[in-house]
Amino acid sequence: MIKNIDLTDEQKENVKRFEEFTKEYIAPHADTFDKEEIIYDSVIKDMVANGMWGVEIPAEYGGIGMDMLNYGFYTEELSKACGNVRNLVGVQGMVSAAVLRWGTPEQKQYWLPKFASGELITAFALTEPSIGSDAKNVQTSAVEDNDSYIITGKKKWITFGERADVFLVFAQSNGRIGAFLVSKNTPGVAVKPIRDLIGFRGSMLGELEFNECKIPKENLIAKVGFGLSHVASHSLMYGRYSTSWGCVGLAQACLEACISYAGSRKQFDTLLKEHQLIQHMIADMVTNIMAARLMSYRVGTLIQRGDRKVSLEISAAKYFASTIAFKIASDAVQIHGANGCSRQYPVERFFRDAKIAEIVEGSTQIQQLFIAKHAFHK
């Protein structure tokens, strides 16, 4: 429950609704999704049926049209329940945000209702086997061919790449990067699942290969040359915002697990919660979660105001929230002792997921570089 932010009555009702939904429909499956490395399609259907899917898409395209603050509150509750489902909603939102911001009216009318209804699941395909943060040097190519583009190349570590029906693919075209929507059923597309990751095992990562895949020119989002500077940049800011709130939710789940455990476990004939060292760890958790939540809340407020210069705040929020989430998850394992290393307790999964959160949507070091660059050139 969000406790250190003043919410309107409507927002309080929304948070209550998000919490009830995630407890009933998402949380019971979290451990299974981690163990089986999958998210059941039935969960997506439950989300659609309960108005919890397509939340980032305006109502005119069949979506829920949630504002960015309510989206943040929803993301926190999703992540408390299951980080993999939060990933699913986050990635779907990244692709939807790209089409909504940079798509033509025709592209919006065609794609967004399919995203909003759950008919099409999406993936954001930027990273390649040898290209990660250095995105401007992607090697996948897009060759113009009359009224089509021919896409050739490989992508790797693509969240929900195994499950997605359509990929937002970034490729070089005459030395400039473009963003292209490529359907999974396009001839020449091959998908290889990636298994046994340290965390977010239910996020169904995939390695994608495009072997001269022919797509219509209408699948180009914005213009060639705008792929990174506009389309990817916008999507990644959206993804970082989602991740910052997701890390708040993950950290909150760790805190709640520790309060429960420390209140029932005894050592030296004393409950763990009575030991001062444990109290210090809990106090640090509470303080850092409050700070990360407020940073994420500020970003949401700025976005809703239409502030176009919010990238620094987004990077800072993602950086801080992901680093404190990993620290809190580590401390949660410590508080649980040997039990924290066992899959019988959720903090083991939280710890593994938290490490991945420091890498996705721009690693901790990339965020540090961006923040420092802004400070020196302000």
> At residue 177, what are phi and psi to the nearest 5 degrees?
-95, 135
- Options 76, 128, 348, 361, the catalytic residue: 361
Q: Which of 159, 165, 150, 154 is nearest to 118 (CA)?
A: 165
Give the DSSP H or E segment for 353: helix 347-357
Degrees to nearest 5, angle at CA 188 with 183 and 193 = 75
- How large is the angle between the packed helices 233-262 and 347-357, nearest 10 degrees? 160
Radius of gyration of the chain (CA): 21
Report how far residue 236's alpha carbon sits from residue 362's, in angstroms, rounded to the nearest whole number.
8
- How large is the angle between the packed helices 347-357 and 83-102, nearest 10 degrees? 30
Bridge partners (DSSP) of residue 191 are: 208
Report how far residue 285's alpha carbon sits from residue 7's, in angstroms, rounded to the nearest whole number.
22
Q: Which of 319, 241, 253 is nearest to 83 (CA)?
A: 253
Contact 282, 259 (CB under 8 A): yes
361 is catalytic: yes
Q: Hey, what's the torsion of the CAs at 308, 311, 314, 319, to 10 degrees?
A: 180
Report how far residue 166's alpha carbon sits from residue 162's, in angstroms, rounded to the nearest whole number.
11
Contact 156, 207 (CB under 8 A): yes
Would you name the residues annotated as active-site residues?
Answer: 361
